[in-house]
Structure 1
Amino acid sequence: MDLVMFYTGEGPFPGIIDLYTLGGTVCEPRAALLANKGFVVFALAFYGYQDMPKTVDKLDLEYFEEGVTFLQMQPKVKKTGIGIMSISKSGDLALSMASFLPNISATVCINACNANVMFPLHYKDMVIPPLIPNQQNITTTTSGIANVLNTLPDVTAEENRATVIPIERASCRFLFIVSGDDRNWNSTLYAEQACSRLKAHEKANYDVVSYPTAGHFMEVPYMPHHPSGLHAAVSQVVAFGGEPKAHAHAQVDAWRRVEEFFKKNLNSVDYLKSSL
């Protein structure tokens, strides 16, 4: 298991697993910034990092379960529920972890999909099939950048319903952060579908924050805006969207909300004391 762990101080602190996007590597700046706010952060790679396989054809939830167990065993980590931080492809992994694994208390999904995308997800004797993008739906802009917005099939179609993650099983609190100008996929729609599913099961354990003119890659504050970039799934430069100024402001505001969300739901007693 390849990992990078961050914390600052004596502790013990609430624990967070940080999952990055397609490619499976880690985002050390995000983990380090969270650690500076009073968390132990386990930046967990799942492929493509150091000596890990560069490509995969399936993912195993048991691997992420081992990560949860490992984090909770650390002496600096409070023996309470942990948080999960995710973005893009890792968002559906976070939803799956929250749905099937114990001891998850708070899950942040930034521009995620509510279905299992790209790879079959195995857990014990269960397999969630993947929602596979249709690359025939890729178009090209006048500047030569690929547009992949419409490549994912309809999640609600009968043939794709098995790919949808049963998040009604989860007992944690969810924070969905979505961008209205996400050109990678329709993250606003997927968050709405996820919340509708929770609501249909009489659950209100979710919050949604929307930024109408932000793009797909919502990074930590003051990181460069990426209106386009190389996409691991199609091996070409694609549009990610976002108006630069609005996107920058969104990253600052979203980060504030993420910090507050984790403090409130992972360490509620300390959070309430600090708010008095």
Structure 2
Amino acid sequence: MWRRVTARAWDVCLEHFAGLSRPFGRISLRSCNKRGVVTISVSPAAGLADQPAKVAVLGLPPLQEVTLRALVVNEQGTLFDSCAHYQAGEQGEIDLSGEPSKGGDYTGLEPMGLFWSLSPAAMEKPYQRLEPRNVKAPMKMEMFVHQGYSQPDAIPGPVLAKTRVERWFILPEVRRIRLKEGAVRGSLFLPPGNGPFPGVIDMFGDEGGLIEYRASLLATHGFAALSLPYFNFEDLPKAMEDFHLEYFEEAVRLLLRHPKVKGPGIGVVGTGKGAELASSMMTFLPEVVAAVCISGCSSIIATAVHYGKITLPGLRFNMSRVNISESGVFDIYEALDDPMDPANSHCRIPFEKAEGHFLFVVGEEDRHWKSSSYAEIAIGYLRQHGKNNFTLLSYSGAGHRINPSFTPVCLVALDRVLGVPILGGGGSRAHAHAQEHSWRKILEFLQFHLR
């Protein structure tokens, strides 16, 4: 019943704002600044999801204590929320860029805290990620100002003001082309203009399927970005099986043949299993000249990788080394076999064969596996062979899944294959800062090595 009431309330909010002017994907909001009228403004009211927004409240009584609250309903109808406590200044104003939160889902000076701290509401199934499945539509957010301090998951005080926000993962001029050519499946995002544009292949981890939001954001920053699924999509294998690098090689050559893609080389961005595949592509495919490896491993994991007559078998997981908390969260940090064990040397990715440049992005508190150590292992092999074609971004306090700036942090995620919550590790605030910094560095890295 609560879910149905919430959904109806959301529909009413959408109807209320339906008449707003929306030129070029923007919302035009008019607020009254008369004395005694409380208003909340977000600028831009409609903007790119990886760009900051300025949040301010005006018209409060001096030193008034309030709770700011954000609500989002995803495509599946799940409600996500966040809240923070603020106190107005002597003039009755609150500017999140200069005022620290005094409580709620985060504390301290966090101008974008209401965005990155969004998590499933109390009545929802926990551990769900807030990630868009349809990048052509914005993430719609309602933001409220409530009287007094109210704790997360508690009934908030009276509403003093509200506004609506849209967070877009794509620009209107970016073209999205669904690909089904040869064995390759995916979505190609092309920036506006004639190009040619630097080409990037984007891949995620062992959840499979087509995940487009990072590729669409890359296209907004001037890259021709191919979101490449490799299982659990259309006629691709339903589950992870042994991988043949020829599939990824075909995707690389397909991208390079496009008239709007600038050669002779491309970049690859991968997270988790995608990072392992990105490393393999960089090692064996000369057309790949830059690889961003986020929370990856220095060896092949679980399923083997084949390329011609070369086979790299996968490290195994030992489930006896998995710890399960009283709340049912799985900690698999120690489950993976040691890549440095001589018995596992045949699983190692030969990084030293790569001629391009690596960017390793890791969280030092990653509990999904030891990605920080794995990055050091990969760097060690490069150094042993006299190579310095790498950059390491290692973040204290960050966990496993490091996404673009300001996207909601999910430190425990429901595994879409196993159906159990997996501990990703880290702290929300440190992880959010790692996302903001690393995304900027990823864009700089790709721009430098592909242009």
- 1:105 matched to 2:289? The reply is yes
Partner Cα separation in structure 2 for residue 25 and residue 151 of structure 1 = 25
Structure 1 residues 1-276: aligned runs within 5 Å:
1-9=184-192, 10-232=194-416, 234-267=418-451
Structure having the higher strand fraction is 2
Partner Cα separation in structure 1 for residue 283 and residue 434 of structure 2 = 28
- 2:98 matched to which residue of 1? none
Secondary structure at the counterpart of residue 14 of structure 1: strand
Secondary structure at the counterpart of residue 275 of structure 2: helix
Deviations 1:142-174 (A, max 9, x none): 322111000011111111010010010000100
Deviations 1:162-188 (A, max 9, x none): 001001000010000110111100111
Amino acid at match of 2:391: D
Q: Which has the higher mean CA deviation after the structures are superposed, 252-261 or 241-250?
A: 241-250
Pairwise CA RMSD: 1.2
Q: CA deviation at 1:54?
A: 1.3
Structure having the higher helix fraction is 1
Secondary structure at the counterpart of residue 303 of structure 2: coil
Partner Cα separation in structure 1 for residue 330 and residue 411 of structure 2 = 12
Please say if residues 182 and 214 of structure 1, whose CA atoms lie closer than 8 Å, have aligned partners that are also in contact: yes
Any unmatched runs of 5+ in structure 2? Answer: 1-183
Partner Cα separation in structure 2 for residue 235 and residue 135 of structure 1 = 15
Deviations 1:6-25 (A, max 9, x none): 01122100100111111332
Amino acid at match of 2:201: I
Partner Cα separation in structure 1 for residue 333 and residue 414 of structure 2 = 14
Q: CA deviation at 1:79?
A: 1.9
Secondary structure at the counterpart of residue 263 of structure 2: coil
- 1:272 matched to which residue of 2? none
Partner Cα separation in structure 2 for residue 105 and residue 51 of structure 1 = 29
Q: CA deviation at 1:99?
A: 0.7
Deviations 1:72-108 (A, max 9, x none): 0000001221000001111111111111111111100
Please say if residues 204 and 271 of structure 2, whose CA atoms lie closer than 8 Å, have aligned partners that are also in contact: yes
Amino acid at match of 2:210: V
Q: CA deviation at 1:249?
A: 1.3
Deviations 1:202-244 (A, max 9, x none): 0000010111101101111121111111235644211111211
Please say if residues 14 and 80 of structure 1, whose CA atoms lie closer than 8 Å, have aligned partners that are also in contact: no
Amino acid at match of 2:265: G
Output the TM-score relative to the length of structure 1. 0.94
Any unmatched runs of 5+ in structure 1? Answer: 268-276
Secondary structure at the counterpart of residue 190 of structure 1: helix
Secondary structure at the counterpart of residue 210 of structure 1: strand
Q: CA deviation at 1:27?
A: 2.5
Please say if residues 206 and 240 of structure 2, whose CA atoms lie closer than 8 Å, have aligned partners that are also in contact: no
Secondary structure at the counterpart of residue 80 of structure 1: strand
- 1:274 matched to which residue of 2? none
Higher relative contact order (CA 8 A, sep 6+): 1
Amino acid at match of 1:106: A
Please say if residues 329 and 422 of structure 2, whose CA atoms lie closer than 8 Å, have aligned partners that are also in contact: yes
Partner Cα separation in structure 1 for residue 232 and residue 426 of structure 2 = 27
Please say if residues 24 and 46 of structure 1, whose CA atoms lie closer than 8 Å, have aligned partners that are also in contact: yes
Amino acid at match of 1:86: G
Q: CA deviation at 1:53?
A: 2.2
- 2:175 matched to which residue of 1? none
Please say if residues 207 and 415 of structure 2, whose CA atoms lie closer than 8 Å, have aligned partners that are also in contact: no
Of the two, which has the highest radius of gyration? 2
